Each structure stands twice: as structure tokens, then as C-alpha cells.
Amino acid sequence: MVDSAEKQRGYEAQLRDAGVRMTRPRRAILKILAETADHPDAMEIFRRAVALDDSISLSTVYRTMKLLEDKGAIQRHAFAGGPSRFEQADGAHHDHLIDIDTGNVIEFQSDRIEELQNEIAKSLGYDIVHHRLELYGRKRRKR
Amino acid sequence: MVDSAEKQRGYEAQLRDAGVRMTRPRRAILKILAETADHPDAMEIFRRAVALDDSISLSTVYRTMKLLEDKGAIQRHAFAGGPSRFEQADGAHHDHLIDIDTGNVIEFQSDRIEELQNEIAKSLGYDIVHHRLELYGRKRRKR
DNA sequence: CTCTTGTTGCAAACGATTTGCATTTGCATT
DNA sequence: AATGCAAATGCAAATCGTTTGCAACAAGAG
């Protein structure tokens, strides 16, 4: 298992180098992101953050998420219907399979699909800036 | 070119058969949907509807869109950032390429990608209920 | 330690959408 | 054609996720 404390230090260093001030709320949020393996939304991050620093405010969470997104430290996913959910941007690119019944998110990746996307965009005269591929599914009943 | 008036009549018949009351606002909205080739959002539909019936209200537009969605007559697309946009559900399935600069939506379809999606879901133990594939791109600069 | 500037918490504003409610309307029934 | 009632409407207020204005505050360069 990866050392999340170390990961957090990495985050902080990276951001400080980018000229970002290291404040108490930001440290709390980075800690949460470094430790988390799921895709929490702003409210969930806020809840976890309050446990570390009870003076933190929801707006700061939102502002920080935007900042981290701009700096490329996290990725924002706007799944159908609900609020934006976030994840660290350190891993490789992947898409999502969302369990309709539980809201669980499973990550997957397919080079072949990416290739096809590029071909399609190209044939339409476009360059892809980013894309969104989400499968909404239900666990296959045991047969 | 397809006769949109006829298409509209088709809509109405289909809905009446499903036990849906045909009201003035609903007729207006169906007319708009039958005539439209783009992907308008609720506000845009409301604007066009007011031109046909100036007593229509925005909430009725929203209620009607939900009704039509439930009845399977239209499809709702929640593109990144903006409001939901709608289109008729009569055509074949397709995905979307959204022009980042203009908001234009281009439809495309790839059997190959659909196949791959199914394979992936299957290998993860899921059945796909629906999916969302959106390419966000920028028109290729002439070179 | 001080100064400057960025950051915070709070509350109010926001855009998209939904809802409660009193009123109107579709339409099946007389 | 007149009636009755459930369903649909318009309006305003509520809701949800998110952003913003602002005065107080704190990071970190000097």
C-alpha cells in the first residue's frame, strides 16, 4: 500500500512550487484527497475536512477544488444528475462505470476506445480536448 | 424532408394512447420538438413555446420534459456544465461531439465503440443500462 | 516583525430545476 | 350541450449545487 502521508507531502510540494500558499484548510483537503480511494463530492469532502479542522467552510472546499483542478492536481467528474465528484489526477487516464443501484464507481480503461474516439473526431474535423465516457449499469444477476 | 406536422401528430397519438392528456402547452411543446433539429434546453424550449402560446410557464416546460422523458418520447442530455438539453427519441442511438467554442453538438455513432463498451461492462460483471459518450473538442485549424 | 496580498468564513446571490397550492382545464360521463 | 372530477397549469416560493462580495484574517517575502 502506498504511503498516503508521503503522497500528501508530494502534493504540497508540487503546489507550493506552483506558487500556491499552504493554508490550514488546504492541508486538510490535500490530506483527505491523498487518503481517499473513492470519488467524493464537495459535501463529502467538507464533512471529512470538518473532522480535521472544524472551522473549515464549504465555500473553501469549493474554492480549493477549483484551484486544484486548475493546477491539474485533481479531476472533476460531473456524473449524470448528481453533484461533481473528484479524484486525484496522479493516476493514468480512465473512464467510469457507475453502478446505478449503489452509486459506486468502477474505473476502467480501453486504449481501443480512445483510438476510435480520436478517429471519429478527426473525421469530423475536430481535435478532442477531453472526453467523457460513462457506462451506467447494473450488476449482472447471478445466473 | 420529413413532415414535422405529421411527426407531431404521431407524437400526440402515441402519448394519448399512453393515457396522457393533450393540453394546450403540451401541444405547443410537441410541435417545437417535432420541428427542431438541434438540442435545445428547457429555457430555449420555453422561449419558443411562448411564441406559440404566451401563457405557458417555465415550470410546465420542465414538467412536460420530465413526462416526455418518462414516456420515452425524448432523451435528456446533461452535457458538462450547462443545463439539460433535449432531443427527440425517435432516431437511432448516437453519441455527441460538443464544440467547446460554440456549444454546437454534432451527432455520431460507432458500433465498434458500443461493442467494446459491452465487452468491458461484461468483464466487470455488469449490464449496461445506458451510457454517455461525449467528446469535447475544438475545430481543427486549417493547416 | 511588518507589510502585502492571498485566503478565509459567512451570508447572500446564483442558475437550473422542483414543488405547494389555489385555479383552470381536459375529457369521460351524463 | 351541461356536469364532475382528476389531472394539469401558472405562479411564487423552495430546493440543490455552486459561486461570489466582503470584511476579517493569516502566509510568507522582506
User: At A119, which CATH number?
Assistant: 3.30.1490.190
Domain identity same for A15 and A75: yes
Domain identity same for A75 and A8: yes
Domain identity same for A74 and A104: no
CB contact at 8 A, B44 and B28? no
- Answer for A18: CB within 7 Å of strand D: no
Domain identity same for A70 and A105: no
Domain identity same for A116 and A69: no
pLDDT digits (tens, 9 = 90+) for B25-81: 999 999 999 999 899 999 999 999 999 999 999 999 999 999 999 999 999 998 888
C-alpha A31: how far from its chain's center? 14
Our count of domains for chain B comes to: 2
pTM of the prediction? 0.85
Nearest to A136 among B112, B129, B137 (CB): B129
The answer to whether position A87 is within a domain reads no
Domain identity same for A17 and A49: yes
Low-confidence ranges of chain A (pLDDT < 70): 1-2, 142-143
The answer to whether position B143 is within a domain reads no
The answer to whether position A143 is within a domain reads no
Domain identity same for A67 and A125: no
Domain identity same for B65 and B14: yes
The answer to whether position A90 is within a domain reads no
Q: How far apart are CA B134 and CA B106, in angstroms?
A: 10
The answer to whether position A89 is within a domain reads no
Residue of B nearest to A117 (CA): B135
CB contact at 8 A, A121 and B135? yes
Q: Which residue type occupies A9?
A: R
* Mutation for testing the A interface, residue in B111, B117, B142, B143 having most A CBs under 10 Å: B117
Q: What is the DSSP letter of B2?
A: -
CB contact at 8 A, A128 and B119? no
Give the CATH number, domain containing residue B66: 1.10.10.10
Count how many residues are written for chain B: 143
Q: Whole-angstrom distance between the N-terminal and C-terminal Cα of chain B?
A: 35
pLDDT digits (tens, 9 = 90+) for A69-89: 999 999 999 887 789 999 988
Residue range(s) defining the domain that contains residue A8? 4-79
